[in-house]
């Protein structure tokens, strides 16, 4: 049972570089989310998707883009990385949001120098 898989797990970037985080889920979930986790800030929603081909902004969308071309995949892109984007990124998915059960990946630790 893979569940929610994030790649890569760790990455170090220089300021201005670009990268893409991939989230894949094998549970046929409609909803997918990208969060960032920072000390003292908890989890903050970056972008989310309520179905294939749809995306929406969360609390902290600036500097990030997302795409949901396939139902099972949700990509998070950083076009020009900044040190403020150093964080741990979590992807989550849910089949029916009303149940409240988000399934999380193990996280991706990104450091921007």
Partner 1 sequence: GDSVTQMEGPVTLSEEAFLTINCTYTATGYPSLFWYVQYPGEGLQLLLKATKADDKGSNKGFEATYRKETTSFHLEKGSVQVSDSAVYFCARDTNTGNQFYFGTGTSLTVIP
Q: Other C-beta atoms within 10 Å of 111: how many? A: 13
Decide: is 50 part of the binding site for partner 1 (CB under 8 A).
yes
Which tokens sit at 9?
A: 């797990």
- How many other C-beta atoms are found inside a 10 Å radius of the C-beta of residue 62? 8
* Shortest spacing between CB 91 and partner 1, in angstroms: 8
Mapped onto helix, strand or coil, the DSSP state of residue 76 is strand
CB nearer to partner 1: give 19 or 45: 45
Is residue 46 near partner 1 by the rule CB under 8 A?
A: no
- Location of structure tokens 């009303």: 98
Give the x/- contact pattern for partner 1 in 61-90, rule: CB under 8 A.
-----------------------------x
């Amino acid at each position: 049972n893979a569940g929610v898989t994030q790649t890569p797990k760790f990455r170090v970037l220089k300021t201005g570089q670009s990268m893409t985080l991939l989230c894949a889920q094998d549970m046929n979930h409609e909803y997918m989310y990208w969060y960032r986790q920072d000390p003292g800030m908890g989890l903050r929603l970056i972008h989310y998707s309520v179905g294939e081909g749809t995306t929406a902004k969360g609390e902290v969308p600036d500097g990030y883009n997302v795409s949901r071309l396939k139902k099972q995949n949700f990509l998070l892109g950083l076009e020009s990385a900044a040190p403020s984007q150093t964080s741990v990124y979590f992807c989550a998915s849910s089949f029916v949001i009303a149940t409240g059960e988000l399934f999380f990946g193990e996280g991706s630790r990104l450091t921007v120098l």
